[in-house]
Amino acid sequence: MRVSYKKLWKLLIDRDMKKRDLQTIAGISSSSIAKLSKNEYVSMDVLVKVCVALKADISDVIELVPDEKEESEDK
């Protein structure tokens, strides 16, 4: 399984926000934004700050998706 932050980016679009806005209101670093942009793992602390800043639930910003390898093994 891998993480995807597509829900987070959709939420920002819906709220007419930019990644820089999220960085500012959540108090997270530019490197955390970069990791989120690349669907890389970030600490739970970062995710909590994002959720608090956006008044959103964790399931509103992150989802787990199967790897391509896992999908082909299931078939």
Q: What is the CATH number of the domain that holds 48?
A: 1.10.260.40
Outline where DSSP puts E strands in 1-75: 2-4, 63-65
Provide the pLDDT confidence category of residue 67 given band limits of 50, 70 and 90. Answer: confident
Task: Show the domain range for 16.
Answer: 2-74
In this predicted structure, the answer to whether residue 30 has a pLDDT above a threshold of 90 is yes
In this predicted structure, the answer to whether residue 37 has a pLDDT above a threshold of 60 is yes
Residue 10: per-residue pLDDT = 97
Distinct helix (H) and strand (E) counts, the chain = 5, 2
What is this structure's pTM? 0.85
Q: What is the pLDDT of residues 5-16, one digit of tens each?
A: 999 999 999 999
Total structural domains within the chain: 1
Mean pLDDT computed over 43-66: 96
